Amino acid sequence: MIPVLRQQQILEFIKEKGSVSLSEVVKKIGISESTIRRDLKELEQQGFVDLYRGGGICVKGGEIELELDEKMVLHKEEKDRIARYAASLVYPHDVIFLDPSSANHLMIDYLPTDNITVVTNSIAHINKLVKRQITCLLIGGEIKRTTSSCIGPIAEDTIANLRFSKCFLGANGMSVKYGLTNHDVRERIIKRVAIASSVATYFLVDASKYGTIAKCKVADIDEYAIITDRAITEMEGMENIFVASE
């Protein structure tokens, strides 16, 4: 398993529990204690966890931002259901914007191939769109390696001068109190500009992200439509939540 992916799983487990012991982490992840110790030491050095004498561990704060191929491995079935649901909302003659989220990457597989135009700042999305022969436009700008996307003033200005029927966006965190959040302020700006250029906005967020709070707030929880994979008790009764069933 990729070390950063394993470390993300460790963080998620500690977050669920609040604090854990080394033996609990070893049992949960199912690999050797020596490997877990190395991962925890690296997480401590990066400022994500505190390690205590006697083997106690707790989350210090912060999140690891995964690269796209690493994100694709996490909760893939749930994201696939979300992607199918989102693609069903795209109609002939739509011009849509896709940000570089993993759910959007999966969504491309289910899009109609005729009479739509897809605009994106994701290099990975463009490669997939071209293979499916879908009319597409790549927004240029500064390259961000972790998300394989174009960001910065050039991308922002280009998106601001376009108009979309719909935009489909990801989020790193989802919370009733803190809303939809993102790791990077530059990507937060891209999302806000895309929203302003769109008739309708949809956030594609798998339920595993509920309770996670990333650095930058993108929107309030009830501000735009959210497509997720299962009902969340704290969000029951909210009319903007759409659950993608199996």
Q: Each residue of 61-111: pLDDT tens digit? A: 545 566 677 676 677 899 999 999 999 999 999 999 999 999 999 999 999
| Strand 95-98 to 164-169 pairing | parallel
Q: Each residue of 111-166: pLDDT tens digit? A: 999 999 999 999 999 999 999 999 999 999 999 988 889 999 999 999 999 999 99
Q: Each residue of 229-245: pLDDT tens digit? A: 999 999 999 999 999 98
- Mean pLDDT (the chain) is 88
Residues 6+ apart with CB under 8 A from 31: 1, 6
C-beta atoms surrounding 133 within 10 Å? 9
Angstrom distance (rounded) from CA 138 to CA 228: 27
pLDDT at residue 191 above 90? yes
Query: pTM to 2 decimals?
Result: 0.75
Angstrom distance (rounded) from CA 121 to CA 170: 13
**DSSP class of 54:** T
* pLDDT at position 232: 92
* pLDDT at position 60: 56
Helix 3-17 vs helix 22-29: crossing angle, to nearest 10: 120
Tokens 């490997």 locate to: 35
